[in-house]
């Protein structure tokens, strides 16, 4: 196309990103030469009942992985509004790192200048004294327009260049977007390691065989997991996503990998290509910990006496804490972090009744043990759960405590049900081993004790505006112009009819 003014109505520029309709964006991406990239994303991150992001922009997951790594520059290529939201969220979560951005307009996009601008930016920033790696992330519009990041040089003066497509119409959750970048980095590092000697990890004095973990964990958890592995003669390797490039080699060099977060499909593929066995679930509660230690020990070819010693150590410590911290409550649980089944296991083992657990992440083999365990105890497990399913489950189960995402918690509070954000509950406390066994009881008890307060809140806010009139009420909810809704409905129906007649999308 040589005239930027003649952008077709199916162009990603007119389709409107995550509001523009995924099929339109997918078609545009395929037409622009991204068929292989889109097919890979569809295979790794299969769709569920919801086909649009129901939480934050998925690309935030990749961005966060890049921003958490030392000596790594992260550059976004996307619409300014998307980049504004992503940088805002990054700094809200304390990134303390610059986010690179290569802006574009309709002309630079359709003429191919955007790719040239990205290439220039990469050459400017890729200085070995500053960086080990430069990550470039294509958001929705550049992906749908076929901006070919795969043509970027693989390295510049030794600085690795990683270009990835992370469109909202191809990656359903921000959790899985972490895997897109982690998997791309592991692949790069694996090929480097296969080609010749690579950097040793920091503090490599510990010669024990290591177990690598998949997933972002609460900082105290890896320490506790390391202590549980010690009786088997195993050390703890890095968690993926890693905090620096050289840790990728150490992770690939592990004897076994614990897929604590089960949705890291691309990363698992790289570990398997390196010949590393994968163990699902995690050391959560007593049952979960004993089964996990067994699985890890066998995968790492540890003698059964040593596995038994590790299990005996865990049993003593965890059993006592579980007995001292019982949970008596009916709880529904939903989230998009990927650890929902593990948290549900811990709650059930502590005595809670959990009729429903929903996760926005897909089903993979690495959560099968948790699903089987939960289903055997009467919990309905919903993968790729939509917000609507989570809400329906909560309203049906009438729990003492609803743990979930922001809109679910809002709905629960409207109904007078005590509620808690899943992310707040799990991100600030340990989940595994003995520390995890005692961590949830206090917070559940504190929230359910407040049930009467929630019921009082309903009567206090009675009559206050909701939906479009939210925020008004004590002085009167604004009145709608008479007939406005009806006129809008008719106008929309007329527009849809006209578009159907002209065949316009």
Q: 78 or 148, CB closer to ligand SF4?
A: 78
CA dihedral of residues 20, 75, 43, 247 (deg, nearest 10):
-150
Burial class (CB in 10 A: 0-12, 13-18, 19+), 434: buried
Minimum distance of ligand SF4 from residue 18's CB (angstroms):
3
Q: 118 or 140, CB closer to ligand SF4?
A: 140
List CB contacts of 248: < 8 A, sequence separation 6 or more. Answer: 185, 186, 188, 189, 238, 240, 242
Q: At what angle do helices 220-229 and 304-324 cross, to 10 degrees?
A: 130
Minimum distance of ligand SF4 from residue 168's CB (angstroms):
2
List CB contacts of 134: < 8 A, sequence separation 6 or more. Answer: 72, 73, 74, 75, 122, 125, 126, 156, 159, 160, 161, 162
Q: 25 or 248, CB closer to ligand SF4?
A: 25
C-beta of residue 359 within 8 angstroms of C-beta of residue 292: no
Minimum distance of ligand SF4 from residue 87's CB (angstroms):
12
Minimum distance of ligand SF4 from residue 137's CB (angstroms):
9
In angstroms, the CA 400 to CA 402 distance is 7
Which of 161, 90, 179, 88 is closest to 121 using CA atoms? 161
Q: 37 or 59, CB closer to ligand SF4?
A: 59
Q: 165 or 244, CB closer to ligand SF4?
A: 165
Q: 11 or 332, CB closer to ligand SF4?
A: 11
In angstroms, the CA 235 to CA 217 distance is 17
Minimum distance of ligand SF4 from residue 95's CB (angstroms):
17
Q: 59 or 391, CB closer to ligand SF4?
A: 59
Residues that bind ligand SF4 (CB under 6 A): 17-18, 53, 57, 59, 78-79, 82, 85, 139-140, 167-168
First to last CA, the chain: 21
Q: 147 or 425, CB closer to ligand SF4?
A: 147
Minimum distance of ligand SF4 from residue 263's CB (angstroms):
18
Minimum distance of ligand SF4 from residue 86's CB (angstroms):
7
Minimum distance of ligand SF4 from residue 143's CB (angstroms):
9
Q: 59 or 329, CB closer to ligand SF4?
A: 59
Burial class (CB in 10 A: 0-12, 13-18, 19+), 46: middle
Report phi then psi at 74, rounded to 5.
-125, 125
In angstroms, the CA 382 to CA 333 distance is 10
Minimum distance of ligand SF4 from residue 85's CB (angstroms):
6
Q: What angle do CA 150, 156, 158 make, to 5 degrees?
A: 115
What is the DSSP track for 353-401? EEEEEEESSPP-GGGHHHHHHHHHTT-EEETT--HHHHHHHHHHH--SE
Q: 63 or 234, CB closer to ligand SF4?
A: 63
Minimum distance of ligand SF4 from residue 384's CB (angstroms):
17
Which of 199, 243, 197, 193 is closest to 217 using CA atoms? 243
Burial class (CB in 10 A: 0-12, 13-18, 19+), 14: middle
């Amino acid at each position: 196309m040589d005239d930027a003014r003649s952008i077709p109505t199916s162009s990603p520029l007119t389709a409107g990103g995550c509001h523009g309709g995924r099929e339109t964006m997918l078609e545009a991406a395929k037409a622009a030469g991204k068929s292989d990239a889109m097919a890979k994303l569809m295979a790794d991150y299969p769709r569920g009942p919801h086909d649009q992001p129901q939480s934050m922009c998925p690309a935030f997951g990749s961005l966060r992985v890049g921003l958490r790594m030392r000596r790594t520059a992260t550059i976004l290529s996307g619409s300014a509004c998307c980049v504004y939201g992503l940088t805002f969220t990054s700094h809200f979560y304390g990134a303390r790192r610059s986010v690179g951005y290569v802006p574009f307009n309709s002309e630079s996009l359709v003429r191919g200048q955007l790719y040239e601008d990205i290439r220039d930016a990469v050459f400017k920033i890729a200085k070995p004294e500053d960086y080990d790696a430069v990550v470039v992330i294509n958001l929705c519009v550049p992906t749908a327009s076929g901006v070919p990041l795969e043509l970027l040089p693989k390295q510049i003066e030794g600085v690795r260049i990683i270009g990835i497509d992370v469109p909202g119409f191809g990656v359903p959750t921000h959790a899985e977007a972490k895997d897109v970048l982690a998997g791309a980095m592991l692949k790069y590092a694996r090929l480097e390691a296969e080609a010749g000697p690579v950097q040793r990890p920091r503090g490599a004095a510990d010669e024990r065989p290591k177990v690598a973990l998949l997933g972002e964990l609460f900082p105290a958890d890896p320490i506790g997991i390391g202590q549980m592995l010690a009786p088997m003669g195993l050390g703890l390797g890095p968690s993926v996503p890693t905090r620096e490039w050289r840790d990728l080699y150490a992770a690939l060099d592990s004897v076994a990998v614990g897929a604590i977060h089960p949705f890291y499909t691309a990363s698992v593929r790289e570990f398997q290509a390196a010949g590393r066995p994968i163990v699902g679930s995690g050391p959560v509660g007593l049952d979960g910990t004993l089964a996990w230690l067994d699985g890890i020990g066998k995968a790492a070819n540890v003698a059964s006496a040593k596995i038994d010693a590790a299990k005996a150590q865990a049993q003593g410590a965890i059993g006592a804490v579980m007995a001292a911290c019982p949970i008596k409550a009916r709880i529904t649980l939903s989230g998009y972090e990927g650890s929902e089944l593990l948290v549900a296991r811990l709650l059930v083992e502590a005595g809670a009744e959990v009729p429903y657990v929903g996760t926005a992440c897909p089903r993979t083999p690495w959560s099968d043990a948790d699903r089987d365990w939960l289903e055997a105890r009467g919990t309905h497990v919903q993968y790729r759960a939509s917000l609507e399913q989570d809400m329906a489950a909560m309203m049906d189960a009438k729990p003492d405590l609803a743990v979930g995402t922001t809109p679910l918690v809002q709905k629960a509070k409207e109904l007078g049900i005590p509620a808690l954000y899943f992310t707040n509950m799990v991100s600030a406390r340990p989940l595994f081993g003995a520390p995890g066994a005692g961590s949830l009881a206090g917070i559940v008890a504190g929230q359910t004790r407040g049930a009467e307060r929630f019921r009082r809140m309903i009567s206090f806010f009675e009559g206050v505006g909701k939906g479009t009139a939210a925020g008004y009420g004590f002085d009167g909810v604004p009145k709608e112009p008479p007939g406005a809704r009806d006129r809008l409905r008719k106008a929309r129906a007329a527009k849809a009819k006209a578009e159907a007649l002209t065949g316009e999308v």
